[in-house]
Structure 1
């Protein structure tokens, strides 16, 4: 179906596969470019429905095997979030492959015209806590039923009964992908045995020992300011989008807030913890947060290898944590 356009815009045709999944569309009024990243481009689709209403949809297009899997993961993750907190993410519509472009794939959801800034923390953290409080993971396991992507970085979401085991496995996967893309880093490699044998057991095992346990929470998985938007400028109410979800320890989400570049200040931590308290042992919270922050910095180092600061921040934090916990996990810690 050909679309109308402004004279200065490129003439765009909406693929039949996309037209077929849009609900009750009478006319496609406009298709416009809406942005682009290194691994995907996005479009805004404006339509008239059969009842006369006009509405806009957001469409992301990506290519190749990983493009297909990434958009599948985004649809599945957004659907999981929407099932729990429909007021906290765009309504997902469909994903699939384009008919008229070879090896090209799409994801469609409701479109929002976001206001500038970061959502107001009171309502935002209430919604996030509500998402995290729905402990409905299949069979109570950590993981996800498909691969989800952080940018173009696939995550290993293999199901696990233990959070420590899941986190260990997922972090090793990120490190393997980083090395495949950028090559070895001797300074980082030298610290990894202590990270996996001492730090991770010391900080994560106490969550699930000594009579303590944690229930899997659905996390957004990449919750930085660029994946949250204000939908009501007068109130600052916001939603999240572009998730790389899995069922996790709820505090994993907050690891991405540790880094000032992501603009979730201490106030967001405070508001979040009015709904969900810090896990026991509470005294380990800050260093657990630092450990989770290491993984997010390693994500960034993998996605943007030319920005050496991301890798250096991860190395510096691992060095601090390995010095602090060189004794590893002991019976006293459990």
Structure 2
């Protein structure tokens, strides 16, 4: 779709000089807006409304309460399309040690329970966020089993995968019945494309999918597809050291993210999911 001059007055960003498409992922259309009042990042969700962005705005605000993320300026609906205006971030570089410290600072924002005050049902990977006291209950019932239903409906399941997942569920239940953890503010989609540096070298986090959970899940995501250096983990551990044995539990959470990729992209992720589930129950 074209964001044309009809949008200019709707956006209320002063005298708009230019709107140009930029790379913004596969979910939204994205644009750089240059106006008399500065530069802005515009996301548009075609054939939807402003509520589509409510969870992202909530996540950005939560992260900004303790760390650093783009500032949400305004969301709205125009001509049947939802939109979100963010501050525009000029990118730079710095040591990933600082980025690790930023993530640790975010994880130090705690809550009494796991979850969030609403579910995310309009996403391709739905999330049930009903508050829970026990992490094992939350992770199994409101993350793993939600996606298990999705992939079964798509014919992407078999008896071998079901057996592996059942064994992982049992392991998670057993472990967290004796090893309680504090609910942390989670980014929720922490791969290297959603983290970086501003031109002033400040680390910054993007595109959150927040909830309060076990921080090991965010860390497992950073290790799934690579892209973070040793400095990142050294920086993280300098602020908020992970619990003993966390490396052994990485595959427990990577199995969720691979299940999510299986649901989104199909059987190409089947073998990787099976490998992760096999590692999860190997000790």
Q: TM-score, normalised by structure 1?
A: 0.75
Selected match of 1:62 from 45, 48, 51: 45
Selected match of 1:123 from 75, 92, 98: 98
Match of 1:144 in 2: 116
Q: Say whether 1:297 aligns with 2:269.
A: no
Taking the TM superposition and a 5 Å limit, the aligned residue runs for 1:209-248 are 214-232=181-199, 235=201, 237-248=202-213
CA contact (8 A) 2:29 2:44 kept: yes
Q: Which runs of 5+ in 1 are unaligned?
A: 1-9, 50-54, 209-213, 325-334
Selected match of 2:74 from 71, 74, 94: 94
Q: Say whether 1:15 aligns with 2:7.
A: yes
Match of 2:16 in 1: 28
Q: Are the structure 2 counterparts of residues 178 and 63 from structure 1 closer, same or farther at C-alpha, using a change threshold of 3 Å?
A: farther
Aligned residues: 281
What is the distance in 2 between the residues matched to 1:187 and 1:61?
A: 41
What is the distance in 2 between the residues matched to 1:246 and 1:68?
A: 20
What is the distance in 2 between the residues matched to 1:313 and 1:150?
A: 26
Deviation at 1:35, TM superposition (A): 2.3
Q: TM-score, normalised by structure 2?
A: 0.88
Q: Which has the higher contact order (CA 8 A, sep 6+)?
A: 2
Deviating beyond 4 angstroms after TM superposition, the runs of 4 or more aligned structure 1 residues are 67-70, 148-151
What is the distance in 2 between the residues matched to 1:47 and 1:182?
A: 49
Q: Which has the larger radius of gyration?
A: 1
Selected match of 1:188 from 132, 140, 161: 161
Deviation at 1:113, TM superposition (A): 3.1
Match of 1:163 in 2: 135
Selected match of 2:272 from 286, 296, 313: 313
Match of 2:60 in 1: 78
Q: Are the structure 2 counterparts of residues 59 and 154 from structure 1 closer, same or farther at C-alpha, using a change threshold of 3 Å?
A: farther
Listed one character per residue, the Cα deviations across residues 95-117 of structure 1 (whole Å, up to 9, x for unaligned) are 2322x2x2x211221111334x7
Listed one character per residue, the Cα deviations across residues 272-326 of structure 1 (whole Å, up to 9, x for unaligned) are 11111222xx1x31122221121122222222225x1x332221121232242xx
